[in-house]
Amino acid sequence: MTRDIDRGTRSVQALISMTLYNIVPTLVELALVLAVLGVKFGLFFIWITLGALALYICFTVAVTEWRTKFRRTMNEFAAVAQTRAIDSLLNYETVKYFNNEEFEARRYDASLDHYRKAAVKSQRTLSMLTIGQQVLVTGSLVLMLWHTTSGVVEGRMTLGDLVMVNAFMIQLYIPLNLLGVVYREMKQSLTDVDKMFILLDEKREVLDAPGAQALTGSDFTVRFEDVSFDYEPARPILKHVSFEIPAGKTVAVVGPSGSGKSTLARLLYRFYDVRQGRITIGGQDIREVTQSSVRRAIGIVPQDTVLFNDTIEYNIAYGRPGATREEVEAAARAARIHDFIMATPKGYETTVGERGLKLSGGEKQRAAIARTLLKNPPIVIFDEATSALDSANERAIQSELKNAAQGKTTLVIAHRLSTVVDAHEILVLESGVIVERGTHAQLLVKQGRYAQMWQLQKIEDSE
Ligand X SMILES: Nc1ncnc2c1ncn2[C@@H]1O[C@H](COP(=O)(O)OP(=O)(O)OP(=O)(O)O)[C@@H](O)[C@H]1O
Q: Which residues make up the interface to ligand X (CB under 6 A)? A: 231, 237, 257-263, 303
The DSSP annotation for 180-238 comes to HHHHHHHHHHHHHTHHHHHHHHSPPSS-PPTTPBPP-SS---EEEEEEEEEEETTEEEE
- CB of 180 or CB of 260, closer to ligand X: 260
- CB of 213 or CB of 242, closer to ligand X: 242
- CB of 265 or CB of 374, closer to ligand X: 265
What crossing angle do the helices spanning 101-154 and 159-192 adopt, rounded to 10°?
160
- CB of 255 or CB of 299, closer to ligand X: 255
Report in angstroms how near the CB of residue 293 gets to ligand X at its nearest.
24
Report in angstroms how near the CB of residue 189 gets to ligand X at its nearest.
34
- CB of 191 or CB of 259, closer to ligand X: 259
| CA distance from start to end of the chain | 53
How many other C-beta atoms are found inside a 10 Å radius of the C-beta of residue 160?
9
Assess contact for 60 and 66: CB atoms under 8 A. Answer: no
Report in angstroms how near the CB of residue 264 gets to ligand X at its nearest.
7
- CB of 257 or CB of 462, closer to ligand X: 257
Q: What is the CA radius of gyration of the chain?
A: 35
Report in angstroms how near the CB of residue 420 gets to ligand X at its nearest.
14
Residue 344's SS3 state is: coil
Q: How far apart are CA 9 and CA 79, in angstroms?
A: 21
Report in angstroms how near the CB of residue 233 gets to ligand X at its nearest.
11
Q: How far apart are CA 435 and CA 427, in angstroms?
A: 8
Q: How far apart are CA 415 and CA 383, in angstroms?
A: 10
- CB of 60 or CB of 263, closer to ligand X: 263
Residue 245's SS3 state is: strand
Q: How far apart are CA 410 and CA 381, in angstroms?
A: 6
Report in angstroms how near the CB of residue 231 gets to ligand X at its nearest.
3
Assess contact for 163 and 150: CB atoms under 8 A. Answer: no
Report in angstroms how near the CB of residue 307 gets to ligand X at its nearest.
20
